[in-house]
Structure formats: structure tokens, C-alpha cells
A and B are shown apart, each in its own frame.
Chain A
């Protein structure tokens, strides 16, 4: 348990020491800023961040894999996985620690967007509830995205492949269900259930539904469990 936190701490500080993370953060905040000023911040819209949260999920499809791609791939490529996996740490501690580290950086990256609330507050009186729940939803969706990215990162020592694979898997749980339910209406219910976007809508509305919470937590747990298994299987390949 302690080791999980040590690994999380190292990987979080690893982000701050890597130029890629700053580049990703720069582009994320640039795009999020455009999103906010061009779409959300409009006199005709209610004083809230709902539209921002929805579009933000799209942005995160390419932003979070850029954060998660190096988590394990870099260790596999440089060989640092060897001292790490021969120290008394479990595979689960490595995976959960790395995911927590990435979540930490993701939260830090998200933090400057809180200023948008203050910008709205200059002209209007936004309701803090839906904004808070919107951030919870964004963090949970980011958690699933990062768990998927971490799984992809365990599977290859090549960061570019890890990036592409995680974008692809995330699309399977976000955009692809829209098309599938259009082509095969019989599957519409199932497709709506697996769609990450659908589960975020309630959070953006200000609704924290136990079924949505369960969906995200099982999603995160499932992809992290896959990543642990993938890391274990590396030994048997």
C-alpha cells in the first residue's frame, strides 16, 4: 500500500520533469480556453459549464493518452522496469501507483479551468452544485481514459503505439457506440450503457447517480486489473 503511494509520487514528479507533460498541458489549456470562450461563454447560454464539460470529454480523448503513453512503455524501453519489478513491490502496486500518479497530473492540468467559474461569476451567478459534480464526472471519465492508456502502455515499449492504441480503445467506449446503435438499433440500449459520454451527462447536469458512479469505478477497476494481468503476463511471454 505504501509502495503504491511511493510509485504514485515518483510518477507524478516524473510528469513535472518531462517536457512532454508540459506540452500536453499547454495544448490542453489552449484548446479548453478556446472551447470555453467560443462555445460556453455566450450571453445566450445559462451561466454554467455544462457545454464545456461535454466538449472537454472529446478533448480528453487525445489529451489523456498523451499523458498515459509513457507510464509503462518508457520503463519497458529503458529497462528501469527490471530494478522496479525486482524491488519488493507487487504488480498491483506498480499499476495502481502509476495510475494515481497520472490522475494527480490530470487533476493539476484540470485545475486552471476552475478560473472559468470566476469568469462567469463576473457577469452571472452560476450554480456551484452542477459545476462541482461536472468536475467529479470529468475526473472519473479521465480515470477510465487513463486506465485504458495505462493498459496500452503496459502492452508495448513503443510510446507512439501506446498512444494510438489507447485513443482507439477510448473511441470504442465513446464515439463508436453512437454509430453502432444507429446501424443496429437492437443494440442501442447496450451501446448507451457502455458509452462514457452518456454517463457523464448526468454529472454535468448536477446529478450524481449511483449507477453512473458504479459504471466509472468498475470501468477503472476493470482496466487496471487488465493492466496488472498484462504486466504479469510479460513474464510468461
Chain B
């Protein structure tokens, strides 16, 4: 069995006499997690960028009506892919607060689009909006209302229940 260090590696403090002590085996079995070692952080965003460029390229190549660099429909799948990526990112990084962060972000984006559209002057659409009506409604419904309602209606397991399950208590 490994003899314990007598000097603290962190602060250099001399630990007291511990001749008959040893580090217990269960501590040495621990290994660092390899969960985030598979890919570098830039792999997925770069792949998404390539995909978006591909979609934009198809759009610009097929219907070159007014300008070779003008997109007609590719904007929507690109925004959709990026949104899904962002959602997945939030879900993986902060799974517990996802249901709070995601609605907040989407509500903010919706309001941002709303103000940008309104800043271009009054339009004849609903709420005085022009192009932003569909994305704003989509963000508010899919990004805010549905997650909030789903979260409120979610039956969460209490710590008491989790403990009972763990110890096998009825």
C-alpha cells in the first residue's frame, strides 16, 4: 500500500506524523472523465458552418434571379440548424437550467427582432410588424410558451423520492 505524502502538494505544509496511515484503495481507482475528450470544441461549430455554406450555395446557385449572393429560402434552414445547435449546446452544458435559459434567450431574441422591425417604421402587418412577425411568433410559441408550459407541468422527483428509491424504502 502506498505511503501517504508527508508534505502537502498544494501549500507545502508539513502534514503531521502518519507512519501507520495509508491512502485507502478506493481513492486510487478514480480516473478523470473522458466525456469531453472526443472532439475539440471547434469541430461541431465548424461542421455546422460547412453545412450552412452548402445550403446557402445551393440556394444561390439554383435561383440566381436578382443577385448571385442573394438568398431566397436558405435563410430558414440555416437559422433552424443554428438554433437546434444552440439548444443542444445549452442542454448539454446546463441541463438543469435549460428550461429557464432557453425561454429567456428565445424571448429576448423575439423582442430584439420585434424592436428592429418596429424601428424601420410602421408596417401594415399585425402589431405593426413586417418581416419579423413569423419568426417572433415562432420564437415565442416554440421557444418560450411550449418550454415554459412543459416545465411547469413536469412532475419532478423530489430528493425524498430519490433517497427512498436508493435505499429501497417503500
Instruction: Note whether A and B form a binding pair.
Output: no
